[in-house]
Structure 1
Amino acid sequence: MRAVLSNFFSIAISFVFAACVGSLPANAADLGLMTSGPSSIGNCSEIVFTCENGRQYPLCPIAVSVVGEVVTASLHTGRRGATRVRLIPMGVGYRYAGHGVWLDGFRENALLNFGKHNQVACTILRS
């Protein structure tokens, strides 16, 4: 029952969130994480996710678009080292997904998922 309620609230919050921001024009920062440009490739200190579990997860860009959008990156989760993640186009916000981990976010807020039932809320700490 708890899982059903949790899923219901997650879906309800998603719909409210989409309704609130759906009317806003999207710019590049809404579609993915932005860096200072191609010179940021391999720089693990520029984008760091600070999460409610007290841990920090750096995102190290591997490929960056011409406008500075991170296309592929290494997400350092600590236990297993780095996991390669790729930008998946979304209507609102961004999603970076890799093997066993994915990151859903909008601007500086994100949810880091380590599987179906293990997620933690995070914010982006930019250097």
Structure 2
Amino acid sequence: MNIKKAILGGLLILAGFVAAGGRADAQTVVPGADFSISCENGGNYTLRSGPVLAPGQIVVASLHLSPRHVVPVRLIPMGDGYRYAGRGVWLDGIRDHALLYLNKYNPTACLVGRI
């Protein structure tokens, strides 16, 4: 009978530690960021990413091509660089240099900076 109480008590204590650790992780929120994209074609675009619960999670963003044309995009890590891809448009880059593909075979060189 004492062994059953000891096992039950140990499981309850373990469950308490797991619940406390889960609450601490759930409150870690990394805010989104805004980026300015200045391209050689004279276009200036904005990329706004949403908040995530922890670093390394899937990041979705919105690429503002014009005031009325916003494309939802998703971050795809690419080794040294990054790719934000959406329907019919994507942005490939390394640090502050990027190529914006508005058409499949016609990239535009751009500079990316934080707002």
**Same fold judged by TM-score > 0.5?**
yes
Q: Per-residue CA shift, 1:31-85, capped at 9, x if unaligned?
A: xxxxxx41x3xx6xx3110111111110011243523888110001128610000
Structure label with greater radius of gyration: 2
Q: Which has the higher strand share?
A: 2
Alpha-carbon distance between aligned partners in 1 of 2:106 and 2:68, rounded to the nearest angstrom: 16
Asked if residue 82 in structure 1 is aligned to residue 70 in structure 2, the reply is yes
Secondary structure at the aligned position of 2:59 is classed as strand
Compute the RMSD of aligned alpha carbons.
Answer: 2.3
Aligned match of 1:28: none
- Structure 1: runs of 5+ lacking an equivalent: 1-36
Contact kept? 1:63, 1:70, Cα under 8 Å: no
Aligned match of 1:26: none
Q: Per-residue CA shift, 1:3-51, capped at 9, x if unaligned?
A: xxxxxxxxxxxxxxxxxxxxxxxxxxxxxxxxxx41x3xx6xx311011
Asked if residue 113 in structure 1 is aligned to residue 101 in structure 2, the reply is yes
Identity of aligned residues (%): 50
Q: Give the direction of change, closer, same or farther, for the CA distance of 1:64–1:108 in structure 2 (3 Å limit).
A: farther
Q: Give the direction of change, closer, same or farther, for the CA distance of 1:69–1:124 in structure 2 (3 Å limit).
A: farther
TM-score, with structure 1 as normaliser = 0.59
- Structure 2: runs of 5+ lacking an equivalent: 1-29
1:94 maps to a residue whose letter is Y
Alpha-carbon distance between aligned partners in 2 of 1:48 and 1:88, rounded to the nearest angstrom: 19
